[in-house]
Amino acid sequence: MNKTVVAVAAILTAGAVAAWALGSVRERSAGAQPREDTLVIGTGVVTGLYFPAGGAICRMLNQGRDVHGLRCSVEATAGSVANINALRGGELDLAIVQSDWQSFAVNGSGSFKSVGAYEDLRALFSLHSEAFNILVRRDAKLGQFTDLKGKRVNVGPQGSGQRAMFEDAMAAYDLAPKDFAQLPDLRAGEQIKALCERKIDAAVIVLAHPNGAIQDAAAACDLALVDVAGPGLDRLIAERPYYAPVLVPGGLYDRLPQEARTFGLKATVVASEQLDDELVYQLVRAVFDNFEQFRNLHPAFAALDARAMAGEGNSARLHPGAERYFREKDWL
């Protein structure tokens, strides 16, 4: 896929979807009984993917307002942790959060250890994957994750998400830091140059596909994506169910013709159990009854699978309103 097309499509889609979600909606038809319910969904920064994802969800709900009387609006936020805290405080109705943070909140671990488990947190459905990608030079012939043993792998700065995911993968494949020649902490803007100049052998990048950053990297020198698959991946997902398998199709990017199997975190839609069941049912129905339209609202949604979205990446129990819809579809 041409990098200009990827970038422009994402920008135009984000703007159009957000404008629809935040703008006015059609008036109800005469004689209908109005409801004043407005659902506010917390997303992320306006330049990220969570903001247009929230806009896409709101668009689907808002276009049926004449029928159900519901309205949805998008709120830009600082991201997953802020969204969970705002849900817990009753400041948001819905939120998009990364699947690992959903798990930490449900279990009262990580950053949520001091406040305890968020027992009322409920999942509605998951969205796109934020994939764990390992780029290598094609002439290095490093096809599998275990081929990286003894190599120089840039895993990113301490405390970064990409480093945490690499450490999880390393443990699942029974590897340790001593098994690698180096594990540098170059930042994103430095690692592709270092890879092309043969200063490192592999670079870890975590992002949703399609993405212009991968296209730019492939244009810089002859690269390939490493497979992260097999028993190690099965073990990783079994131990950490907030991860899910990801397939990067061959030909998605210029100069990357081969498909690659890997894993990733999911963007997930969550709410409090206290949110009215009927409101949640109508929102989930609005998305999945118009699923092809929803998938066309952003390039990152193109690979979404409706049935998988009912379960993948979710650690919290399903909200009763979402569960009702998915049982009607026989997806559970």
| Each residue's pLDDT tens digit, 45-100 | 999 999 999 999 999 999 999 999 999 999 999 999 999 999 999 999 999 999 99
Q: Are 232 and 262 in contact (CB under 8 A)?
A: no
Q: What is the pTM of this model?
A: 0.87
247 closest CA partner among 261, 234, 258: 261
155 closest CA partner among 130, 198, 195, 185: 185
**If you ran DSSP here, which 8-state letter would residue 28 be given?**
P
Tokens in use for 118? 């968020």
Other Cβ atoms less than 10 A from the Cβ of 174: the count is 10
pLDDT digits (tens, 9 = 90+) for 299-320: 999 999 999 999 999 999 999 9
Q: How far apart are CA 297 and CA 174, in angstroms?
A: 40
Q: Which of 1-10, 188-197, 263-272 is least confident?
A: 1-10
Tokens in use for 205? 């990048």
Q: Is a pLDDT exceeding 70 seen at residue 22?
A: no
Give SS3 for 219. helix
Task: List the Cα angle 147/100/146 in 5-degree steps.
Answer: 5
Which residues is 206 bridged to in the sheet?
132
Q: Which domains does the chain have, with CATH numbers?
A: 3-129+266-328 (3.40.190.10), 131-265 (3.40.190.10)
Largest CA distance in the chain: 72
Tokens in use for 128? 């796109």
